[in-house]
Structure 1
């Protein structure tokens, strides 16, 4: 019965589709027509995975930030990072929300044939936004206790397992024997309760649900210390898109920047949380206590470089990768 209750609680944050709440933001972005011509391609598609990391995009759409820039944006929901990358490389979408490890790996594989550009930064790590947790009655209480254990992550070769390994390494724990268990977030909590996995890497909103309702124990928070502020996800486009439709890309960048600036305000923060309630199935009572990531205003290549450096450290890539050529500058104004 406990596993059933856990599954029900996890399902409470399953994805749903709906509208967004209202936000009265400042009119700090001039219409695209006043920016030297409208977008070459007014209708664009963006592949996303609903999460706290891309929540300002819902606000940008509902509040007309894209419309101000002459864009009609369709947000295309995908089931995972692999689906997002496939859609981008296949030309099914114009922009894609994806984790930086996936973007780096896709860039490496497509070098010489497909070139990816990061057009805007989406999110950066903050404390309390992720945690490695165990069942409340588990004897595992420290990073060292997780050596050789079964740890649930959504995927390997991603920021999930990188964060776990970095946190364990900082505690001088051996990561070589970890048994990674790949599964969706809603499946992790029931499997913790049944003992099928020993620990799980959780992100918001699943983390707040677990802490508020399910009584899990936090072994450690990965996004602290050396990983605090590390870039997590970005918005990407193919190089040919940036070359053929530069005004379209610039319009998208301006709308994202405005959404991120608004998210840093009190009313903007409220709008982001309401967007999660209406678009990601987050319960209204959980939304106020969610720990949200940072939403960067600029895309800084030096900060982004921490990601491939971490990937090389833990063997996801074999040699140093310079991310700077991937980063497309943000237009002024």
Structure 2
């Protein structure tokens, strides 16, 4: 009897030890903090918020610390200085870093949006089909020089035979955050706006969306998750888990309704009317702005550089194979269903 009791006690002790050992190992591996710096808070980035809100990052054992690092320059500076681990910003910023001769290149590893996210807004409603030539001679409130929105805008205008610096009265000295207010206050006859500002201006009756720069400029690696090569080399497992979570969110967004997506991301836009958020989600979803996967296509990469070249912002073309690493997106696309 004593022998049986001893055997039972020993078995229980061994089981407890194994459990504690397993928990000890898991506690070190289960939760990894990843600091993301997004260039702005935007409904355009809906899949990112879905991945957080639906717990897809958490499922991968990642604890996400999300901050908004307003502006591409600030976002990239924060990434390079080690203030964040991953940046969500336009791919052009990684090219600018390379042009400055960085010894630790910034690598694009997971695409989130695949078109420009801005719209052409007119002060007056249009009658009939919109003719781009009607912009000639008009006061146009544009985006910041060198930024992707302005470059995509200029690319579109040139495609329609308009030289933005000769054919328009172009205003580019208004800060990004103040552009909607400036237009609403009477500056400009036309303006290039992100959402939800374009929809808000429409709802207030102060402007009318008449064209999409996203549709006109074609597919681009417009907003991408990127990290320093040194970080990726040391944390490849974390980057893979991160990519898996984003892919799951991308899959979900593709099949979810506009209402479902809106409900999932509303906590990130508490100061925005729900109907506005819904309208913006529908607009971006309808025009295919949300990437279906994280793959950064070489043709789209070349289109991005065509846009930059046209704007005079590209010293020399950047090698796709040097600044893009699709291995994590490829594995996520295969593994996550």
Could you state the TM-score of these two structures normalised by the residue count of structure 1? 0.78
Aligned to 2:222: 232
Q: 1:271 to 1:85 in 2, by over 3 A?
A: farther
Aligned to 2:297: 301
Q: 1:221 to 1:326 in 2, by over 3 A?
A: same
Aligned to 1:27: none
Q: What are the equivalent positions in structure 2 for 1:1-333 lying under 5 Å apart?
A: 42-48=32-38, 49-111=40-102, 113-125=103-115, 130-136=118-124, 142-147=131-136, 149-177=138-166, 178=168, 179-184=170-175, 187-218=178-209, 220-225=211-216, 227-267=217-257, 269-280=258-269, 281-290=271-280, 291-292=283-284, 293-302=289-298, 303-328=300-325, 329-330=327-328, 332=331, 333=335
Rounded Cα–Cα distance in structure 2 between residues aligned with 1:86 and 1:190: 28
Q: 1:309·1:321 contact (CA, 8 Å) conserved in 2? A: no
Q: 2:180·2:193 contact (CA, 8 Å) conserved in 1? A: no
Q: 1:38·1:70 contact (CA, 8 Å) conserved in 2? A: no
Q: Which runs of 5+ in 1 are unaligned?
A: 1-32
Rounded Cα–Cα distance in structure 2 between residues aligned with 1:143 and 1:235: 33
Q: 1:276·1:282 contact (CA, 8 Å) conserved in 2? A: no
| Deviations 1:172-204 (CA, angstroms, capped at 9, x unpaired) | 112233533244566334422443333211122
Task: Give the C-alpha shift of residue 250 in structure 1.
Answer: 0.8
Rounded Cα–Cα distance in structure 2 between residues aligned with 1:301 and 1:324: 11
| Deviations 1:244-263 (CA, angstroms, capped at 9, x unpaired) | 11101111111111111111
Q: 1:241 to 1:107 in 2, by over 3 A?
A: same
Higher relative contact order (CA 8 A, sep 6+): 1
Name the larger-Rg structure.
Answer: 2
- Greater CA deviation, 86-95 or 270-279? 270-279
Aligned to 1:3: none
Q: 1:193 to 1:205 in 2, by over 3 A?
A: closer
Q: 1:138 to 1:52 in 2, by over 3 A?
A: same
Alignment length (residue pairs):
293
| Deviations 1:232-291 (CA, angstroms, capped at 9, x unpaired) | 110000000111111011111111111111111125x43432344321332112122221
Aligned to 2:15: none
Q: 1:121·1:234 contact (CA, 8 Å) conserved in 2? A: yes
